[in-house]
């Protein structure tokens, strides 16, 4: 059983003005993440935390003043989980995401939640009280072995089962096929598996940079040596031909199965029971470059608890 450093911290506000095109505020009830994803894009957050421990080994639990006049956010878009998963296993203990939802209930805000967990089922009835709520689950494989190589989050089947329940209950759901590993992620198979239980399917390519680039490249070299030349071509030689070819292939596949396929735009309004729209986000660096501004609520003030707990 892995051990994590758990701290309580006080923050001035839980809502941060966002530069992401998908929302007006980003909300992260935790700093850090215990999923331990090898490809974690949010690992850049470590430099703002003061933690010497490796990313994935610590979690700061946020406590904030009660949101005053939450109705002033009526109609605003809040994205919960831009740089952490709001339904980490520790949420079952600390309940900060549930507390946030309870403080916002009845305010008229629109919420989007991103997760890799089925713990969100606990809050299904609460989430259903929010207008136009959207929940997305990241799924980049149907192979549980590969999933376990990549992260400690809930199994693929648990994620898909949670997605199906939310969709059946009338909540808009998104299957976020991300990140797509060249030669490994079977995008068509995931689309076929999820298309009957979601309203949107997002596609995002694997971007490699920073400290996790050599980690992933070494993993590919050791576990998928036949793909290593392809990864060298994409990530060292900066050749985009793989993504261009995949884009064309998926557009044709979408047409074959009767799904709309668009690029960098999920604004298409469809009836709830309509088939999902596939949105290709292969080329959206503007979103990635703005992500560093998404958690400026973090005050770095240690609270009363500084303990180590098993998870």
Pair 214, 221: CB distance under 8 Å: no
Q: What is the pLDDT of residue 287?
A: 36
Residue 283 has which token pair? 């080329």
Phi (first) and psi of residue 80, to 5 degrees: -100, 110
Pair 130, 111: CB distance under 8 Å: yes
Q: What is the mean pLDDT of residues 232-236?
A: 97
pLDDT surpasses 80 at 244: yes
* Residue 144 CB neighbours (<10 A): 11
Q: What is the pLDDT of residue 309?
A: 31
Please give the share of the chain, as a percent, with pLDDT higher than 90: 73
Q: Does residue 305 lie in a domain region?
A: no
Give the list of residues 6+ apart from residue 254 with CB closer than 8 angstroms, or none: 191, 260, 261, 278
Residue 310 has which token pair? 């098993």
Pair 58, 7: CB distance under 8 Å: yes
Q: What is the pLDDT of residue 291?
A: 39
pLDDT surpasses 80 at 140: yes
Q: Does residue 87 lie in a domain region?
A: yes
Sheet with 30-31: strands ordered across: 30-31, 58-63, 3-10, 301-310
Q: Which pLDDT band, with edges at 50, 70 and 90, does 283 fall under?
A: low
Q: What is the pLDDT of residue 55?
A: 74
Question: Which range, 42-51, 266-275, 283-292, is most confident?
Answer: 266-275
- pLDDT tens digit string along 188-231? 999 999 999 999 999 999 999 888 899 999 999 999 999 999 99
Q: Does residue 309 lie in a domain region?
A: no
Q: What is the pLDDT of residue 211?
A: 85
Q: What is the pLDDT of residue 294?
A: 47
Q: What is the pLDDT of residue 137?
A: 98
**Counting beta carbons within 10 angstroms of the beta carbon of residue 75, is it exposed (0 to 12), middle (13 to 18) or buried (19 or more)?**
exposed
Q: What is the extent of the structural domain holding 251?
A: 3-298
Q: Does residue 90 lie in a domain region?
A: yes
Pair 284, 264: CB distance under 8 Å: yes
Question: Which range, 19-23, 37-41, 161-165, is most confident?
Answer: 161-165
Q: What is the pLDDT of residue 52?
A: 67
CATH of the domain at 191: 3.20.20.70
Q: What is the mean pLDDT of residues 64-84?
A: 93
* Residue 36 CB neighbours (<10 A): 16
pLDDT surpasses 80 at 299: no
Whole-number average pLDDT of the chain: 88
Q: What is the pLDDT of residue 122?
A: 98
Q: What is the pLDDT of residue 17?
A: 85
What is the C-alpha separation between 262 and 277, in angstroms, rounded? 8
What is the C-alpha separation between 210 and 55, in angstroms, rounded? 13
Number of domains in the chain: 1
């Amino acid at each position: 059983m892995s051990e994590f450093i758990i701290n309580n911290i006080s923050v001035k506000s839980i809502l941060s003005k966002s530069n992401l095109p998908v929302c007006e505020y980003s909300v992260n009830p935790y700093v850090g993440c215990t999923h331990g994803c090898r490809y974690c894009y949010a690992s850049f957050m470590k430099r703002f935390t003061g933690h010497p421990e490796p990313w994935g080994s610590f979690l700061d639990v946020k406590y904030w003043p009660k949101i005053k006049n939450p109705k002033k956010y009526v109609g605003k878009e809040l994205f919960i989980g831009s740089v952490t998963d709001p339904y980490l296993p520790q949420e079952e203990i600390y309940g900060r995401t549930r507390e946030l939802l309870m403080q916002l209930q009845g305010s008229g805000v629109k919420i989007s939640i991103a997760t890799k967990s089925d713990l969100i089922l606990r809050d299904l009835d609460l989430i259903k009280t929010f207008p136009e709520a959207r929940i997305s689950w990241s799924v980049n494989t149907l192979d549980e072995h590969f999933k376990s190589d990549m992260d400690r989050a809930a199994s693929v089947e648990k994620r898909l089962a949670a997605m199906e329940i939310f969709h059946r209950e009338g909540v808009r759901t998104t299957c976020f096929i991300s990140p797509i590993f060249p030669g490994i992620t079977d995008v068509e198979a995931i689309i076929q598996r999820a298309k009957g239980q979601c309203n949107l399917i997002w596609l995002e390519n694997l971007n490699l940079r920073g400290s996790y680039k050599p980690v992933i490249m070494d993993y590919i070299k050791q576990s998928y040596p036949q793909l290593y030349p392809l990864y060298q071509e994409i990530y060292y030689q900066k050749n985009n031909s793989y993504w261009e070819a995949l884009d064309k292939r998926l557009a044709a596949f979408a047409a074959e199965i009767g799904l709309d396929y668009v690029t960098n735009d999920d604004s298409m309004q469809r009836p709830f029971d309509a088939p999902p729209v596939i949105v290709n986000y292969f080329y959206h660096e503007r979103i990635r470059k703005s992500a560093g501004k998404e958690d400026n609520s973090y005050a770095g003030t240690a609270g009363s608890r500084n303990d180590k707990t098993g998870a």
